[in-house]
Amino acid sequence: MFDYFYEQAVGRGFKLFANPALHGGGRRIANGVLFCDSLGGTVLDYPLKTQNLIDRVTEFANAYPCEWINPFNEDGRPGNQWTTEQFNTIYASLSSQLNGAELVGACQRGIQAGILTFEQTHVDQYITIATTHNLGFQHELWPDYIALATEKGFLVKAC
């Protein structure tokens, strides 16, 4: 079914953005539990799980060319599910392996997590679009996120 919808979207000229399904998407892929209720075990400091995520996102980008891609979906702040080093390794590794797609991110769960990702990682060196989710409704933090994204050279538009 995915192939059908992908082909229809491409055939109609849609620009496509892809990231892992459901919350905790990067962790689900790293643990091989994409289609179940569990997120699997911890991924902190597991190089094999880091590589699992890099490999799967690369495979996806080669099979389904798109304009933008992100390896995470609401995976949390650095130190929570992924270490700062894992964030840096994942984004650095993917930056040249996406079949022409631009890397965006980090699609964190909550604006505070997006701010901490900017402050604690080098993700901004690899992305072309800064993204975060407002789960938890941290509306008061939007000005801080926008200021930090702007400081790092990202154009910020309200949608």
Spatial contact of 52 and 32, defined as CB atoms under 8 Å apart: yes
Helix (H) or strand (E) holding 68: strand 68-69
Q: Where are the domains of the chain?
A: 16-151
Distance CA 44, CA 90 (A): 13
pLDDT tens sequence across 88-103: 999 999 999 999 999 9
Sheet harboring 68-69: ordered strands across?
A: 17-18, 68-69, 102-109, 129-133
Going by C-beta distance under 8 Å and a sequence separation of 6 or more, which residues neighbour residue 123?
87, 88, 91, 105, 106, 117
* pTM (two decimals): 0.91
Spatial contact of 118 and 112, defined as CB atoms under 8 Å apart: no
pLDDT for res 81: 86
pLDDT for res 66: 97
Spatial contact of 82 and 75, defined as CB atoms under 8 Å apart: yes
Name the residue with higher pLDDT: 57 or 24. 57
Percent of the chain with pLDDT over 90: 63
